[in-house]
Amino acid sequence: MKKYSLKNDYSEGAHPKILDAMIRTNLEQQDGYGEDDYSKKASEIIKEKLNNKEAEIHFVSGGTQANLLVLSSLLESYQSIIAADSGHISVHETGAIENTGHKINTVKTKDGKLTVEMIASVLAEHTDEHMVDPKVVFISNSTEVGSIYMKKELQELSHYCKEKGLLLYLDGARLGSALTSKKNDLTLADISELVDAFYIGGTKNGALIGEAIVLNKKELQVKFRYRMKQKGALLAKGRLIGIQFLELFKDDLYFEISEHANKMAEKLSGAIKKGGFEFMVEPVSNQIFPILPNELIEKLHEKYDFYIWEKIDDKNSAIRIITSWATKNIVTEVFIEELEKYVK
């Protein structure tokens, strides 16, 4: 029997409404390279939600592509990026950023989140032309360990960056989960106001493929389509992503389904807490990192697929569980039963 996967939020295809829209529009002739009606409409709707008419939206096929494309466009050759050492670009993109020519200055964090102090410490170390010139601050929301930024925290980062002439970029691969977290107090419009560029992740929240890059300011938008084409990111059938983002945003399906993912995670973490277990990082989004006895982990691994994240001590490890728009209620219930059996 195949295990049920709680490894990630991209194990299934697309939300059914998205497939419906694709079928509905399939034989219409549309212009290529993102100049189709659907990409345009999706872009307009997203800009409304951002409350930022000046923004420019571009659709690309994946998160690493979005990151390397935007970050390299923000930097002169000698400039670097400040990121958490757990940041996706720091570890899990096979040196994609360095391959565009730029150093990443990493800082250690407890919960995957950057603070003004951390950024300041990097700036203090970089004083002259023998060192890189830190220019962009990279954050993720939710972060790679499931934590989220509060409005106050993002404001502090934003103000500091403006003061220091830095640019703030947000990797929103799991932005849906962050913005529908019970703890969250940020809106899409807040984000558009506080960061210079970011992307809204589709792949990990119900789309078949695709991320929506948001460039908030005119000066960052110059000839961005040239950059996309050059990096192999301009899709001939751009409609493929336009249709999906239109479907995700026209009636807020995006938030509805990420809220579902969060609820599934919450049910699991509630039961885990009740079982007396702790978490590596406080669970607030669709990624949770409970610390469980190895014995229990082994038991759960018989039926579920998930990553063992970190050895905690000889008897316990942290695991990573991810829920998604497609996670079924019944799955969480059965998982919880297993857990309760063990606890007794």
Q: Which residues, 16 to 45, sit near a second copy by CB under 8 A?
A: 16, 19, 22-23, 25-33
Instruction: Note whether 61 binds a second copy by CB under 8 A.
Output: yes
Instruction: Note whether 135 binds a second copy by CB under 8 A.
Output: no
Least distance (Å) between residue 129 CB and a second copy: 4
Least distance (Å) between residue 239 CB and a second copy: 7
Q: Which of 48, 54, 95, 337 binds a second copy (CB under 8 A)?
A: 95
Q: Which of 54, 92, 329, 333 binds a second copy (CB under 8 A)?
A: 92
Q: What is the 3-state secondary structure (H, E, C) of the chain?
A: CCCEECCCCCCCCCCHHHHHHHHHCCCCCCCCCCCCHHHHHHHHHHHHHHCCCCCEEEEECCHHHHHHHHHHHHCCCCEEEEEECCCHHHHCCCCHHHHCCCCEEEECCCCCCCCHHHHHHHHHHCCCCCCCEEEEEEEECCCCCCCCCCHHHHHHHHHHHHHHCCEEEEEECCHHHHHCCCCCCCCHHHHHHHCCEEEEECCCCCCCCCEEEEECCHHHCCCHHHHHHHCCCCCCCCHHHHHHHHHHHHCCHHHHHHHHHHHHHHHHHHHHHHCCCEECCCCCCCEECEEEEHHHHHHHHCCEECEEEEECCCCEEEEEEECCCCCCHHHHHHHHHHHHHHHC
Instruction: Note whether 115 binds a second copy by CB under 8 A.
Output: no
Instruction: Note whether 132 binds a second copy by CB under 8 A.
Output: yes
Pairing relation of β-strands 104-107 and 56-60? Answer: unpaired
Residues numbered 149-208 forming contacts with a second copy, rule: CB under 8 A:
203-204, 208
Q: Which of 45, 74, 91, 150 binds a second copy (CB under 8 A)?
A: 91
Least distance (Å) between residue 259 CB and a second copy: 20
Task: CB nearer to a second copy: give 31 or 48.
Answer: 31
Least distance (Å) between residue 331 CB and a second copy: 11
Least distance (Å) between residue 189 CB and a second copy: 27
Q: Which of 39, 43, 80, 216 binds a second copy (CB under 8 A)?
A: 80
Instruction: Note whether 333 binds a second copy by CB under 8 A.
Output: no
Residues numbered 249-308 forming contacts with a second copy, rule: CB under 8 A:
none
Residues numbered 205-244 forming contacts with a second copy, rule: CB under 8 A:
208-209, 222-223, 225-237, 239-240
Task: CB nearer to a second copy: give 12 or 340.
Answer: 12
Least distance (Å) between residue 183 CB and a second copy: 26
